[in-house]
Every structure is written in structure tokens, then in C-alpha cells.
Amino acid sequence: MRSVRVRILATLLVLGVVGVGGWQLLPSEGTGRTIKVGTTDEVTSLDPAGAYDAGSWALFNNVFQSLLAFEPGSATPVPDAAESCGFEGSDLRTYRCVLREGLTFPSGREMTAKDVKYSFDRVKKINSDVGPASLLSTLQSVGASGRTITFRLSSPDATFPFKVATGAGVIVDSTKYPANSLRTDTGVDGTGPYEL
């Protein structure tokens, strides 16, 4: 029953915002109104560490943020939760991002670089059979200092920014998601434009 309820909620949310980059047409401040959205895609998990499917990722794009994201109709990632991101040096083994200020979780707690580190470390540590950990196979370590996040890669990976912009790079509230296991309740705590 919970799975059906989750699918219905996700379906309603996703369809309301997927058309023509609808999220970009909304005012920056929410109205507090409820919207209903439908979809035919299945949402397999509300926890980003346990989902590697189109339905879940479409939902994640609306309730979470990543450092980078794809604008509608574009295949090039652009800053989302990040102010800026880029490779350092020509060896494509160090990727650094500076986190935007003022991003808050539904609890009111501000997103920090430590939340970003926690999110990437968590995906790799949980390594769910149905999750996106395989996309982060070249990620050796993540460092967080102030608003700066530094990714060290085990080998050159020019596709790393594209991976950061997927569901593998979703940033969760480190106080709400367990470090060693998937979250099993129906809560979703992200900084995206919508709440579930």
C-alpha cells in the first residue's frame, strides 16, 4: 500500500513540473498551495542512495538539489546548489565546487558543504544494488572546507560533472538520512523547489 501511495504522490508531483521547464516559471517564493501531478514512471525509492531509475530521478529533480543540474533541453550541466564548479589542472582528477549560500532544508537548517560530502560518501558507503553508486566509481574522496567541496578522483574522468548532475549527486540533509543504510520512511528532506 505504501508503494502505491508513494507512486501516486510522485506521479502527481512530477507531471506538474516536467512540462517546458515549468519549475523555472514559478515565483522564487512558494505560495504554500498544493499541486497534484501524475506520471507513468515508477518511483522505486525516496532515498537517493537507493534509486537509479527515471521515475525516482524525475522526483528527485523537484525535491532535492545537486551541485549541478541540466536545464530543460540542454545536455550541459550548469550550477544548481553550487555557485561554481570546475576541474583543477589538466589531469581531470580534482574537481572543486563552491556551494551557494542561503539554501535551506525544510527544517530551516542551512545546507553546508558537509551535507554535500555526507551525501556522496553515503551513496558510496551504502552501495545499494539498485542505487547509483556505480556512477561514482572513480570518486576516491570528498573534502569539505567552508563552502568548498573538493572531489579527488582515482583516475581522469571528464564525465564527472555529468554524474554530479544526476540522481547520484543529490544532496540530502545529513541529520535526516542514516549514514549506513537507506531511509525507509516516506520523508523527503531536500532543498529543491517542492516538498513532498
Q: What is the pLDDT of residues 80-128, one digit of tens each?
A: 999 999 999 999 999 999 999 999 999 999 999 999 999 999 999 999 9
Cell numbers for 148, please give them. Answer: 568548498
DSSP state of 192: S
Burial of residue 173 (number of CB atoms within 10 Å: 0-12, 13-18, 19+): buried
Find the domain containing 103 and state its range: 2-171
Residue 105 lies in a domain: yes
| Domain-located, residue 147 | yes
Q: How many domains does the structure of the chain reveal?
A: 1
Q: Distance between CA 38 and CA 47 in Å, rounded?
A: 20
Residue 36 in domain: yes
Residue 177 lies in a domain: no
H or E stretch covering 140: strand 139-145
Give the HSE-up count for residue 141: Cα atoms under 13 Å, Cβ half-sphere: 2
Maximum separation of any 2 CA atoms in the chain, in Å: 51
Q: List the CATH number of the domain containing 19.
A: 3.90.76.10
Looking at the domain assignment, is residue 179 inside a domain? no
At 36-94, the pLDDT tens digits run: 888 888 999 999 999 999 999 999 999 999 999 999 999 999 999 999 999 999 999 99
